[in-house]
């Protein structure tokens, strides 16, 4: 199952769609839902995060409303999972540059906290001009 987590309240991010190749089995949560956690996303799920971003944080385009660093990102996604569950893959799709750096920072924090062992982290950034590319697109960079 694919879960979309909006980590922004900006209208352009909330309207971002997925490429049709992702299929119909998609559950989407707004920032109001994601920020409270407790979504009980099952182990082995695919998570797609949509937000604005740069090399140090994701969230809203303008600072001061939703500003998520790598530690908060990890804790937020973890809080959305079912008890003791980890996702199989996390795709971070943002409007902004430096996402590979941010994704690498998430990987470092996950390694330090000894969580998400084996979870694939992939990053993609592009202007909000179309749907989130399919998982097979070359636009994704896997962060080891």
Tens digit of each residue's pLDDT, the chain (144 residues): 999 999 999 999 999 999 999 988 789 999 999 999 999 999 999 999 999 988 899 999 999 999 999 999 999 999 999 998 999 999 998 877 777 788 889 999 999 999 988 899 998 876 656 789 999 988 888 886
pTM: 0.94
Give the model's pLDDT for residue 4. Answer: 97
Give the model's pLDDT for residue 97. Answer: 72
- And the tokens for 117? 């062992």
Give the model's pLDDT for residue 140. Answer: 87
Give the model's pLDDT for residue 141. Answer: 84
Q: What is the DSSP letter of 16?
A: P
Place of tokens 């740069």: 54
Give the model's pLDDT for residue 144. Answer: 67
Contact 10, 52 (CB under 8 A): yes
DSSP letters, 47-113, are EEEEEEE-SS-EE-SSTTSSEE-HHHHHHHHHHHBPTT---SEEEEEEESS-HHHHHHHHHHHHHHT
Rounded CA-CA distance 107/1 in Å is 22
Give the model's pLDDT for residue 129. Answer: 66
> Is beta strand 141-143 parallel, antiparallel or unpaired with respect to 58-59?
unpaired
Parse the chain into domains and list their residue ranges.
2-143
Give the model's pLDDT for residue 81. Answer: 97
Sign of CA dihedral 18, 21, 22, 23: positive
Give the model's pLDDT for residue 7. Answer: 97
């Amino acid at each position: 199952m694919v879960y979309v987590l909006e980590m922004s309240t900006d209208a352009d991010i909330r309207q971002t769609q997925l490429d049709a190749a992702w299929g119909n089995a998609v559950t989407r949560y707004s920032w109001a839902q994601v920020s409270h956690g407790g979504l009980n996303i099952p182990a082995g799920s695919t998570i797609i995060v949509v937000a604005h971003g740069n090399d140090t944080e994701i969230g809203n385009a303008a600072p001061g409303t939703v500003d998520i660093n790598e530690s908060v990102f990890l804790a937020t996604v973890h809080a959305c999972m079912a008890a003791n569950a980890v996702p199989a893959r996390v795709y971070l799709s943002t409007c902004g540059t430096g996402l590979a750096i941010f994704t690498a920072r998430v990987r470092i924090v996950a390694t330090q906290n000894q969580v998400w062992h084996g979870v694939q982290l992939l990053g993609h950034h592009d202007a909000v001009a179309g749907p989130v590319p399919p998982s097979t697109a070359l636009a994704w960079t896997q962060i080891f």
